[in-house]
């Protein structure tokens, strides 16, 4: 799960005309002993930034130190530029900061780059390791202390709690390529086994690594048009013949059909549509089109069969060449548009190949493309041919392959991408009926088409990882945990689609706001930061675990009573004796969860838990 969960853009204050910052402090002095730099999110995000800021404040106020936070601006993808972070680090240094606290993976590269430049500053990096960009090698610096968390213990608490809350069908959805996920998952199944054996109750645990090569699941799916015989239609139908364009077929009376002209040949441009009634006794004017001048228009089917012809006229044209590279040989061309001089044309990049995603357009004429970062954009030509090159990069988020049979629209897409599909014209005697889609396991894909009964339609790509969670829930799993992996939100996506009551188990912070959240195992940044700063030592690690109270499960308490604000002893309604005993055993080392080398089944030996490992 990405730790950046909610990006709120704020009205920025200009600082020396260079960059903007927002923040607050204990006082209004210019100099600050301690600075917290957020990952671009706010300090009221209800998650990691807020928890980290609470820790900074608590420590600073206890030590009578001045403090402030900076919130860097983010781009449209919610990312923070490393050099921008560097500006804030420099600002903190210029303002005499003794400590700079940063949290999360977004800040790891910045710490790696800038900490060596400021050897007198004490950096505290929470829940990430310093590393160079595009490198997995962890670096260590004498002025950087790193806060980590025992994710085995966190997973153990989540698994144990899921069972003692009364559930006997639980699941884990994680990633084999992520060490944190593997650790959370291993802890989870061991916690489930402990609770099952203690209670003597049979428990089933489903375990699926969504990116494992041997996972028995395929995220790709197929979309296909369904045709039916015209003779089977119970409605009155009419035949539409489009010459020089798209939209031919047999349609029901009253249907609204999109008609699009073919791209013009060289030195030709679209001029108008000619319409003709093909039903004897019905005049041509009964062919009801929305426009005879637009190359894409709508036909309201009714009254007659008809022929619609795209008419082109002579004109001096230039080309928009969509090319794979600057080499304009035929083998390197994607597409060609013949257009009028001094005109604007809407152009769409070809679909990306599996695992890739459109990044930007390249063109010698920088003013020709309206939005170089959009796969579909307006391109303006003057008096000569231009070539535009779509650039694709490896996606940093999952992509899912879609195959369109008997139509167009196949490609590799990310969740949120907008996809258009067009069915091929039906054979004589047949008519388009509807679209159907199914994944390679025969299950529903979950996509929602704008109009599944129209031969040309569109849909938004969904998060396909949620389909595994959906299958688990459909097969009886009651609660699923996804600690430590970037697709954990997929679990909650799936809970919203299941009619019966199912739950996700959150991690990192209290995820109750996600909906259908049974509970959450929290890695407490506040406590960990206070503890680490008290013991600060550059070049070392501080691990948050049960022994130092840096882990806990929401609504589960280890203490029978607590003191209220008036000092009165009050019974804690969240106290659970079994949870308290396991927490203590984890804290003193009596229970030591194990991390398997590869297969989680090797660390579990349970009498009452059955582990279903999802493999081919």
Q: Convert the pLDDT of each residue in 380-427 to its tens digit.
A: 998 888 999 999 988 877 788 899 999 999 988 988 888 999 999 999
Whole-number pLDDT of residue 341: 87
Whole-number pLDDT of residue 1: 38
Question: Is there a single domain that holds both residue 166 and residue 266?
Answer: no
Q: Is-contact 5 492, C-beta < 8 A? A: no
DSSP 8-state symbol, 366: T
Question: pLDDT band at residue 327, thresholds of 50, 70 and 90?
Answer: low
15: pLDDT strictly greater than 50? no
Q: Is-contact 247 257, C-beta < 8 A? A: yes
Domain region containing 498: 151-216+466-522+551-613
* CA–CA gap between residue 570 and residue 559 (Å, rounded): 11
Q: What is the pLDDT of residues 150-201, one digit of tens each?
A: 999 999 999 999 999 999 999 999 988 888 999 999 999 999 999 999 999 9
Exposed/middle/buried for residue 234 (C-beta within 10 Å: 0-12, 13-18, 19+): exposed
DSSP 8-state symbol, 405: T
Percent of the chain clearing pLDDT 90 (strictly above): 63
Beta strands of 424-538 (E only): which ranges? 430-439, 456-460, 479-481, 503-508, 517-523
Provide mean pLDDT across the span 331-338: 80
Q: What is the pLDDT of residues 559-587, one digit of tens each?
A: 999 888 888 889 999 999 999 999 999 99
Whole-number pLDDT of residue 8: 31
Give the chain's domain count.
3
Domain for residue 324, yes or no? Answer: yes
Crossing angle of the two packed helices 179-199 and 577-588, in degrees rounded to 10: 130
26: pLDDT strictly greater than 70? no
Domain boundary pick from 101, 132, 149:
149
CATH code for the domain of 121: 3.40.50.2300
Phi, psi (degrees; rounded to nearest 5) at 260: -130, 135
Crossing angle of the two packed helices 525-534 and 48-62, in degrees rounded to 10: 40
Q: What is the pLDDT of residues 57-109, one digit of tens each?
A: 999 999 999 999 999 988 876 788 999 999 999 999 999 999 999 999 989 99
Question: Is there a single domain that holds both residue 203 and residue 277?
Answer: no
* CA–CA gap between residue 114 and residue 136 (Å, rounded): 18
Question: pLDDT band at residue 331, thresholds of 50, 70 and 90?
Answer: low
21: pLDDT strictly greater than 90? no
Helices and strands (DSSP H and E) totals, the chain: 9, 38
Domain for residue 349, yes or no? Answer: yes
Domain for residue 323, yes or no? Answer: yes
Question: Is there a single domain that holds both residue 342 and residue 428?
Answer: yes
Q: What share of the chain is helix, strand, coil (3-state, %, to 5)?
A: 20, 35, 45
Provide mean pLDDT across the span 364-386: 89
Domain for residue 546, yes or no? Answer: no
Domain boundary pick from 107, 133, 149:
149
Question: Is there a single domain that holds both residue 287 and residue 339?
Answer: yes
Query: What is the model's pTM?
Result: 0.74
**Average pLDDT for the chain:** 89
Q: Which two tokens stand for residue 53?
A: 């800021």
Q: Burial letters for 268-286: b for 16+ Cβ neighbours within 10 Å, e otherwise? A: ebbbbbebebeeeeeeeee
From residue 202, alpha-carbon distances to 45, 173, 205, 609, 610 in Å are: 40, 21, 10, 6, 8
13: pLDDT strictly greater than 50? no
Domain boundary pick from 117, 133, 149:
149
Domain for residue 480, yes or no? Answer: yes
Question: Is there a single domain that holds both residue 51 and residue 131?
Answer: yes
Question: Is there a single domain that holds both residue 481 and residue 606?
Answer: yes
* CA–CA gap between residue 604 and residue 593 (Å, rounded): 10
Question: pLDDT band at residue 30, thresholds of 50, 70 and 90?
Answer: low
* CA–CA gap between residue 420 and residue 535 (Å, rounded): 57
326: pLDDT strictly greater than 80? no
* CA–CA gap between residue 183 and residue 151 (Å, rounded): 6
């Amino acid at each position: 799960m990405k730790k950046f969960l909610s990006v709120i853009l704020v009205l920025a204050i200009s600082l020396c005309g260079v960059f903007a910052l927002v923040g607050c402090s204990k006082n209004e002095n210019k100099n600050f002993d301690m600075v917290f730099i957020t990952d671009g999110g706010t300090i009221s995000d209800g998650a990691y930034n807020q928890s980290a800021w609470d820790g900074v404040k608590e420590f600073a106020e206890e030590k009578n130190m001045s403090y402030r936070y900076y919130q860097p601006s983010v781009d449209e993808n919610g990312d923070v530029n490393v050099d921008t972070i560097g500006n804030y680090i420099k600002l903190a240094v210029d303002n005499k900061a003794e400590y700079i606290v940063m949290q999360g993976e977004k800040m790891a590269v910045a710490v790696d780059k800038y900490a060596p430049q400021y050897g007198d500053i004490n950096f505290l990096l929470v829940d990430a390791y310093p590393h160079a960009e595009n490198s997995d090698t962890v670096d260590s610096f004498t002025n950087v202390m790193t806060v980590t968390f025992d994710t085995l213990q966190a997973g153990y608490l989540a698994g144990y709690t899921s069972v003692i809350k009364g559930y006997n069908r639980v699941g884990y959805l994680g990633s084999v390529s992520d060490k944190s996920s593997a650790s959370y998952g291993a802890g989870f199944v061991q916690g489930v086994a402990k609770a099952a054996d203690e209670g003597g109750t049979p428990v089933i645990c489903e375990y699926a690594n969504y990116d494992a090569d041997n996972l028995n699941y395929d995220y790709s799916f197929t979309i296909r048009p369904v045709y039916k015989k015209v003779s089977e239609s119970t409605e009155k139908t009419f035949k539409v013949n489009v010459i020089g364009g798209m939209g031919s077929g047999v349609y029901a009376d009253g249907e609204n059909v999109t008609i699009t002209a073919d791209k013009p040949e060289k030195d030709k441009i679209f001029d108008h549509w000619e319409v003709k009634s093909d039903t004897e006794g019905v005049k041509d004017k009964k062919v009801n089109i929305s426009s005879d001048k637009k190359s894409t228009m709508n036909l309201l089917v009714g009254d007659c069969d008809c022929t619609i012809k795209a008419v082109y006229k002579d004109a001096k044209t230039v080309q928009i060449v969509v090319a794979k590279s600057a080499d304009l040989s035929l083998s390197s061309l994607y597409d060609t548009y013949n257009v009028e001089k001094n005109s604007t044309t809407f152009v769409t990049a070809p679909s990306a190949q599996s695992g890739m995603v459109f990044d930007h357009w390249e063109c010698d004429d920088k003013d020709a493309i309206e939005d170089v970062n959009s796969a579909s954009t307006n391109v303006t030509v003057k008096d000569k041919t231009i070539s535009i090159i779509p650039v694709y990069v490896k996606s940093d988020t999952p992509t899912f392959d879609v195959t369109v049979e008997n139509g167009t629209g196949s490609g590799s897409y990310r969740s949120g991408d907008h996809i258009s599909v067009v069915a091929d014209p039906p054979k004589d005697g047949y008519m388009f009926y509807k679209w159907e889609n199914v994944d390679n396991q025969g299950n529903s894909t979950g996509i929602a088409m704008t109009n599944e009964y129209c031969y040309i339609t569109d849909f938004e790509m969904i998060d396909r990882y949620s389909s595994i969670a959906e299958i688990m829930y459909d097969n009886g799993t009651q609660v699923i945990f996804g600690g430590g992996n970037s697709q954990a939100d997929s679990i909650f996506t799936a809970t919203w689609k299941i009619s019966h009551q199912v739950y996700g188990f959150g991690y990192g912070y209290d995820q109750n706001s996600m909906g259908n959240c049974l509970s959450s195992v929290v890695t407490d940044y506040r406590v960990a930061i206070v503890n680490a700063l008290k013991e600060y030592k550059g070049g070392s690690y501080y691990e948050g675990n049960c022994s130092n109270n840096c882990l806990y499960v929401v609504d589960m308490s280890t203490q029978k009573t607590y003191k209220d604000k008036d000092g009165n002893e009050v019974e804690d309604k969240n106290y659970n004796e079994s949870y308290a005993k396991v927490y203590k055993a984890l804290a003193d080392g009596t229970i030591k969860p194990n991390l398997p080398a590869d297969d989680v089944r090797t660390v579990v030996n349970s009498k009452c838990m059955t582990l279903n490992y999802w493999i081919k």
